[in-house]
Amino acid sequence: MTSPAIDTHAQPRKQTLRVSAADLRIWAQASLEKLALPADDARLIADCLVQTSLWGIDSHGIARLPHYLGRIRGGSIHAKPEIRVRTTGPCTARIDGGHGHGIVICHRAMKEAISLALANGIGAVGVESSSHCGALGLYGRQATQKGLMALALTHSDAFVAPSGGRSKFLGTNPICLAVPTDDPGRPICLDMATSAVPWNRVMNARRENKPLEQGWALDAQGKPTTDPHTVACLLPLGDYKGYGLAFLIDLFCGPLNGMPFGPHIPAMYGDNGERRRLGSFMLAINPKMFSGGETLAHVATAMAKEARNQPRAAAARAVQVPGDPEYCMQEEREREGIPVEPGLLKEMQAWSQTLGVKVAFEPRPSDVAPARQEGGNPAS
């Protein structure tokens, strides 16, 4: 039996504040610097979170900063980690993140993969002792800016039931694939979780007390639920296929890098003082080493244009290619601002008071707009 949906009509109508990307960047960087992060690292994390929100991936955007602040303050994310890079072959390297912030560590890992690929055709970098690294699309696009193709993988603690199961075993374990086009700012980029939705979307729904969609999650008895407060685990994307991808991604990110897998990974929403012990895998490929490499970006551009011109289904707005939902959402949010829902705003205000950081955005009647559906592709 499906759990009853939350009766949102019985609650006071909530509205969503729209905030400019610039104001959010300023607040995020200042908050991180107050917790002793170096200015460059704080700026990188702030830029990445706001960019993710601009893409419409609210599960991994600025909404995650309060959680990161809690873990930095709790000690599980080191503000000034010792990141060690060890080259292990002409095309391979290992990075020990020193339990720093995952965005800083994985940005460094993809930078190393890019360097190896430019020199030798391919670069594969394993990451260990990291924490949550945000949206993988950040790293796929990092490589395409240098004209390279990319594969990025990471994993998480157990949130998702295996195919045929009813309790959590694997993480949302996302995958990103990216290919450059003629427009450096708009590569072909697929960033997706291997679960029906990212767990952070459940956390956002709990904070804002909003129901989930059918087919996303199970409760503690293994029954389908739409109530985020009763969710015990998510379902894999496409049942066996999503489960199979998640299983292999966990092996690439965890055991390959000496890190744990699934149920043995410390919980993201657990003890803020316990290190996450996450791994990642970054791969950059120089297309110029292959027969079609010189024209790949041009052909990818033409392929995308041809796909968008395909006849659309009656209910569809348009045919899109991977990355289009994010680019369309970014155009809208650059005009209208990034939505900050009431629950998130309350958390931001509390952290601002705790850290002594000024909030440059406050609700005003002219600023609010109804909450919109989260856009972009699902990530971990």
Report the chain's mean pLDDT, rounded to a whole number: 92
Q: How far apart (Å, rounded) are the C-alpha atoms in residues 293 and 131? A: 34
What's the pLDDT at 361? 77
**1 inside domain:** no
**5 inside domain:** no
Longest dimension (CA), the chain: 62
* pLDDT (average), residues 160-164: 97
* pLDDT (average), residues 12-26: 85
Q: Indicate the pTM of the whole model.
A: 0.90
CATH number, domain of 327, equals 3.30.1370.60
What's the pLDDT at 200? 85
pLDDT tier at 317, thresholds 50, 70, 90: confident
Query: Among residues of the chain, what percentage have pLDDT more than 90?
Result: 87
What's the pLDDT at 16? 85
- The range of the structural domain enclosing residue 42 comes to 13-369
**219 inside domain:** yes
pLDDT-wise least confident of 21-25, 86-90, 201-205, 235-239: 201-205
**Is residue 139 pLDDT above 50, yes or no?**
yes
Query: Over the stretch 181-236, which tens digit does the pLDDT of each residue have?
Result: 999 999 999 999 999 998 888 998 998 899 999 999 999 999 999 999 999 999 99
pLDDT tier at 275, thresholds 50, 70, 90: very high
* pLDDT (average), residues 135-141: 98
What's the pLDDT at 252? 98
**Is residue 249 pLDDT above 90, yes or no?**
yes
pLDDT tier at 315, thresholds 50, 70, 90: confident
**347 inside domain:** yes
- Residue 274 · residue 280 · CB < 8 Å: no
**Is residue 100 pLDDT above 90, yes or no?**
yes
Query: Among residues of the chain, what percentage have pLDDT more than 70?
Result: 91
**7 inside domain:** no
What's the pLDDT at 376? 41
Q: Which two tokens stand for residue 229?
A: 């407060």
**377 inside domain:** no
**4 inside domain:** no
- Residue 28 · residue 46 · CB < 8 Å: yes
Q: How far apart (Å, rounded) are the C-alpha atoms in residues 194 and 212? A: 18
Count structural domains, the chain: 1
pLDDT tier at 363, thresholds 50, 70, 90: low
Provide the 3-class DSSP secondary structure of residue 239.
Answer: coil
* pLDDT (average), residues 249-258: 98
**298 inside domain:** yes
The single-letter DSSP state of residue 271 is -
What's the pLDDT at 108? 98
pLDDT tier at 92, thresholds 50, 70, 90: very high
**Is residue 378 pLDDT above 60, yes or no?**
no
**Is residue 1 pLDDT above 90, yes or no?**
no
The C-alpha angle with vertex 153 and arms to 151 and 155, in degrees rounded to 5, equals 175
**Is residue 4 pLDDT above 70, yes or no?**
no
* pLDDT (average), residues 262-287: 97
The single-letter DSSP state of residue 177 is E
Provide DSSP, 91-156.
Answer: TEEEEE-TT--HHHHHHHHHHHHHHHHHHHSEEEEEEEEE-----THHHHHHHHTTT-EEEEEE--
What's the pLDDT at 304? 98
